[in-house]
Amino acid sequence: MNSPHELAQLLDALRQLRKDGETRAALATLTRTRGSTFRRPGTHMLVLHDARVVCELSGGCPQRDIVARALEVIASGVPRRVNYNSESGLDVLMEMGCGGELEILIEPLAPAGTTDFADHLARCLHARAEARLATLFAIDGQTVLPQRMVWSAQRRLFDSLGDPAVATVVADACAAWPERGAGAQQLASPRGTLDVLIESVRPPHALVVIGSSAAARALLPLSTALGWQTTLVDHDPARLQSPELPASLHTVCSTPAQLHEALPLDAHTSVVVMTHNLEQDIAWLAALAGTPVAYAGSLGSRERVARMRGAPELARLRLHAPAGLDIGSETPEEIALAVAAEIMAVINGRSGGPLRDNDGAIHG
């Protein structure tokens, strides 16, 4: 599925289309996969009438074919599903060596109100609230013009389904869907069997870097490149005005005692303390105790980390120290890479190990 950063770009593009009154566009959505594929269900690509795209699906042969078919959908105004597998004659994945199969929904964006869901989903992202996006795309196996529901905080924020009974079925499916991932389900309803894609939508991840060390400065551009909302915190305002920092960087001057008021520290936020002063590091980390942050980390030697772990004020904190994966890092840039990799592993629920096991088999 699309990353939060990609999704934000997609929603901005959809809203801009409506603002411009542009209806010559189509939305391609990966609804089902089987085997090894380039992206997972819930990945969207916007195709414009001149073949430009927003949020590429693959960049390879499948994408070129999807764009060509999207242009046909724009011309006809009729939604369609395209299957890429060895039986359809569109076995580009097999030719590329992926060996997977996928189903792509391509819908025209011409009807009024088709993109209204984007407003509600964008508001959820802005408020850093989790949501579910449900897309009804087939009834009894027949492709229909997609209808959507945006569900968050145990309620429907947007509903274009037009049928209370169907909406109840879809809302129940949204409520039961896990916090991660996306997938198509077949749901029984008074109107027949519904094919519904449900996506778990999470706000962009936020990274708070505390301290102005060389490793901290190296982590900032990497975090931004990953699409994370990046903030540098320091108690010294002079260090936050360093010409070495990116011009557009969000900075906050704060002390540990002021941190809760200065920044939102939610479940989609990671914090890395990199002051290289043990007492200061412990004070900053203590300010994170009791917060729902996804990741709290700090650099340090074995002795330094042992003193951190022995500090009573950090007893309630799940501390990643020393921060980072073991990749042999020495330079500030290498340390930044190791730290970012560990954060990504944690927020994605992964171990951070190799993609293969000892026998060479690739993990799913």
The answer to whether residues 319 and 281 belong to one domain is yes
Domain assignment present for residue 22? The answer is yes
The strand pairing partners of 251, in sequence order, are 232
Would the pLDDT of 357 be above 80?
Answer: no
Which residue, 112, 141, 161, sits at the end of a domain?
Answer: 112
On whether the CB atoms of residues 18 and 114 are closer than 8 A, the answer is no
On whether the CB atoms of residues 134 and 148 are closer than 8 A, the answer is yes
Could you identify the residue written with the tokens 């999704």? Answer: 7
pLDDT score, position 86: 64
The answer to whether residues 252 and 289 belong to one domain is yes
Peptide bond into 246 cis (omega under 30): no
The answer to whether residues 321 and 211 belong to one domain is yes
Question: 3-class SS at 286?
Answer: helix
31-45 tens-digit pLDDT: 999 887 778 999 999
Helix axes 117-126, 4-20, angle to 10 degrees: 140
Give the number of C-alpha atoms closer than 13 A to the C-alpha of residue 197, restricted to the C-beta side: 26
Residue 356 carries which DSSP code? Answer: B
150-172 tens-digit pLDDT: 999 999 999 999 999 999 999 99
Which residue, 112, 134, 152, sits at the end of a domain?
Answer: 112
Q: What is the mean pLDDT of residues 287-312?
A: 93
pTM: 0.87
Any idea what the CATH number is for the domain that residue 292 is in? 3.40.50.720
The answer to whether residues 102 and 159 belong to one domain is no
With CA atoms as reference, report the closest residue to 105 among 12, 9, 41, 194.
41
244-288 tens-digit pLDDT: 898 889 999 999 999 999 999 999 999 999 998 899 999 999 999
Task: Specify burial of residue 15 (Cβ count, 10 A radius: 0-12, 13-18, 19+).
Answer: middle
The answer to whether residues 243 and 180 belong to one domain is no
The answer to whether residues 75 and 160 belong to one domain is no
For residue 241, what are the contacts with CB-CB under 8 A and spacing of at least 6? none
The answer to whether residues 146 and 258 belong to one domain is no
Which residue, 188, 204, 220, sits at the end of a domain?
Answer: 204
Residue 361 carries which DSSP code? Answer: P
The span from the CA of 71 to the CA of 25, in Å, is 8
**For 117, phi and psi rounded to 5 degrees?**
-60, -25
pLDDT score, position 360: 54
pLDDT score, position 5: 85
Q: Which of 50-64, 132-146, 234-248, 330-344 is least confident?
A: 50-64
Would the pLDDT of 208 be above 70?
Answer: yes
Residues of the chain with pLDDT > 70: what percent?
93
Share the mean pLDDT of the chain.
Answer: 91
Write out the H or E segment, with its range, that includes residue 278: helix 278-286
Instruction: Indicate the pLDDT class of residue 63, thresholds 50, 70 and 90.
Output: confident
The answer to whether residues 221 and 304 belong to one domain is yes
76-118 tens-digit pLDDT: 999 999 998 766 555 454 444 556 788 999 999 988 889 999 9
The span from the CA of 175 to the CA of 178, in Å, is 8
- Total of domains in the chain: 3
The answer to whether residues 180 and 237 belong to one domain is no
The answer to whether residues 213 and 294 belong to one domain is yes
Domain boundaries, position 93: 1-112
Residue 2 carries which DSSP code? Answer: -
Could you identify the residue written with the tokens 């490149």? Answer: 225
